[in-house]
Structure 1
Amino acid sequence: MKIDKGYTSPHFITNPDKAIVEFENARVLLTDQRVNEIQEILPLLEKTTQLSVPLLIIAEDISHSVYSTLVLNKLNGLLNVAVVKCPGLGDEKKAILQDIAIMTGADFFVSDLGWGLQAITSDQLGMAQKITITSESTTIIAHPSMRPEIEARVMQLKQDLEETTSAYLKERFSARIAKLSRGVAVIKVGAATEAELEDRKLRVEDAKNATFAAISEGITPGGGVTYVELSKHIPSIMDLVDDPEEKIGVNIVGRHSLSLP
């Protein structure tokens, strides 16, 4: 699942070469509240440190004092933590956080219910197989054990989609279904040496990015084929032009610029 919120500070980065945060088998704290004091989450920080697992905090915001404490301990190697602000607004924000809660198995601490952060135990944290955080987005890969819960959630959202008559809600339900049901592919790369492995990983990364760009923006045939295909439309364009000089210009473009290499 991908949300449109990235890390709140570059100090949380774990992979400087890519400027991203990468967590494996991470715990997830999920709340729509503001973390004001470090004491509110101190037991969770201590527990995740004891377990040697990273912690992702998704919250409305954190105070400057909490931020400073987390960053200082992160830089000193005492904590493996990152903070991401809640995505969305209003009801949409709560809906997205509920989706994250289901896919990670986390308890969602909602401010409306008066649940204080001090009451959170480590058993109420969620778990993710892998988390990747950039400056603009966060991608959460659910643990395989959560698949039944995710599938049930998707079925519920599909039912809500069928029942609603609101065009806006239909769009939001469809977006949430797509995020929850989107598959994840794992590409395994091997090599004889570390240097060769890094080179291959970079090549795979370039190929992946090129593929994603093609999917989102489209592609055109290479080798000038696009220009040749466009030249076939020149006759119909000529019929729309009345000015003789403009016809000459269109003919030059069609016969020479588009048709010849």
Structure 2
Amino acid sequence: KTLKAVAVKAPFFGDRRKAFLDDLAVVTGGQVVNPDVGLVLREVGLEVLGAARRVVVDKDSTVIVDGGGTQDAIDGRKSQLRAEIEASDSDWDREKLEERLAKLSGGVAVIKVGAATETDLKKRKEAVEDAVSAAKAAVEEGIVVGGGSALVQARKSLEKLREGLSGDEAIGVDVFSSALSAPLYWIATNAGLDGSVVVNKVSELPAGHGFNAATLEYGDLIADGVIDPVKVTRSAVVNAASVARMILTTETAIVDKPAESDDDGHGHGHSHGHGHSH
């Protein structure tokens, strides 16, 4: 008989690697083949194998779904880890033990996407992938109100900084403050409203409140589910500032030539695009 197999390099080193493999054996209901306990690979049979409903392996990670280990064994292992965490006087050791406990306690969700056509399926799949990425980012750094409202409210923190500045530094703060309102301005404008009016209104609202472009109303955006991960919002600002700085220090910029229109026979070209660097 043959067995489908994939070789995965065990993470960590030394004792940490051994402990991790022991955790994995508990989760899957298998047994670590370790010469230290008298087990040698060429002598063992299928009885040492664990099981799982699904295992996904890529170049960076391995995900085990529904391991075959018993709940009693997993709970016992978790209790053991909690006891070790309590007894540890090393912050580093405690952190690593907590990581192992989190892996044993964590669950894996399987999202199944279906659609009537291949085109719809592709769109839905991309939307789900975006949502999963956003959820992971939110877990890392938290969430803020979405739709550009958080950036407008963040301008308040620049007011105090502006008071002690003059000259180019003051102009820089003013430019940055104006740029922070651009996302909300264009969201409101594209929704058919006056962007400037919406920006001014949102800047007066309490934290957590803003403009909901889907309903064209102001309110508690977190309660309405209009949220963005902090990591995404912060990265957008940092990256936009980096691009703006690069443009300011560049002598020449290359852009596409506007397409000419021959509708009126005079060859007038019209370009209605807007470009913003924050």
The match for 1:245 among 150, 158, 167 is 167
Matched, 1:87 2:31: no
The match for 1:156 among 80, 85, 91 is 80
Q: Distance in 2 between matches of 1:227 and 1:205?
A: 25
After superposition, what is the alpha-carbon deviation per residue over 1:116-148, rounded to whole angstroms, capped at 9, x for unaligned? Answer: 211110111111121111111111123366222
Q: Do the aligned partners of residues 257 and 107 (structure 1) sit closer, same or farther apart at CA in structure 2, a change above 3 Å counting?
A: closer
Matched, 1:122 2:122: no
Measure how far apart 1:234 and its partner are. Answer: 2.7
2:160 matched residue in structure 1: 236
1:105 matched residue in structure 2: 29
1:42 matched residue in structure 2: none
1:212 matched residue in structure 2: 136
| Contact 2:25-2:32 at 8 Å conserved across structures | yes
Measure how far apart 1:166 and its partner are. Answer: 1.7
Q: Distance in 1 between matches of 2:179 and 2:120?
A: 44
Structure 2 gaps of 5+ residues are 186-278
More strand by share: 1
| Contact 1:109-1:115 at 8 Å conserved across structures | yes
| Contact 2:85-2:94 at 8 Å conserved across structures | yes
Secondary structure of the 1:107 match is coil
User: In the alignment, residue 100 of structure 1 is paired with which amino acid?
Assistant: L
Secondary structure of the 1:142 match is strand
Higher-Rg member (1/2): 2
1:62 matched residue in structure 2: none
Once the two structures are overlaid, the 10-residue window that deviates more, 80-89 or 136-145, is 136-145
Q: Distance in 2 between matches of 1:172 and 1:102?
A: 18
Once the two structures are overlaid, the 10-residue window that deviates more, 142-151 or 113-122, is 142-151
Q: Distance in 2 between matches of 1:159 and 1:81?
A: 36
Q: Do the aligned partners of residues 174 and 239 (structure 1) sit closer, same or farther apart at CA in structure 2, a change above 3 Å counting?
A: same
Secondary structure of the 1:140 match is strand
Q: Distance in 2 between matches of 1:125 and 1:169?
A: 30
Using the aligned pairs only, state the percent identity: 37
| Contact 2:56-2:64 at 8 Å conserved across structures | yes
| Contact 2:29-2:69 at 8 Å conserved across structures | no
Structure 1 gaps of 5+ residues are 1-45, 50-54, 56-79
Measure how far apart 1:247 and its partner are. Answer: 6.0
Residue-pair matches, total: 183
Once the two structures are overlaid, the 10-residue window that deviates more, 248-257 or 92-101, is 248-257
User: In the alignment, residue 237 of structure 1 is paired with which amino acid?
Assistant: L
1:168 matched residue in structure 2: 92
Q: Distance in 2 between matches of 1:119 and 1:166?
A: 39
After superposition, what is the alpha-carbon deviation per residue over 1:43-89, rounded to whole angstroms, capped at 9, x for unaligned? Answer: xxx2xx4xxxxx5xxxxxxxxxxxxxxxxxxxxxxxx3211011110
Q: Distance in 1 between matches of 2:141 and 2:11?
A: 25
Secondary structure of the 1:108 match is coil
Measure how far apart 1:221 and its partner are. Answer: 4.2
| Contact 1:105-1:127 at 8 Å conserved across structures | yes
The match for 2:105 among 154, 157, 181 is 181
User: In the alignment, residue 175 of structure 1 is paired with which amino acid?
Assistant: E
Measure how far apart 1:207 and its partner are. Answer: 2.3
| Contact 1:104-1:128 at 8 Å conserved across structures | yes
After superposition, what is the alpha-carbon deviation per residue over 1:143-191, rounded to whole angstroms, capped at 9, x for unaligned? Answer: 3662221122111111111112121221111000000100222334344
Q: Distance in 2 between matches of 1:214 and 1:169?
A: 27
Measure how far apart 1:228 and its partner are. Answer: 1.8
**Structure with the larger RCO, 1 or 2 (CA within 8 Å, 6+ apart):** 1
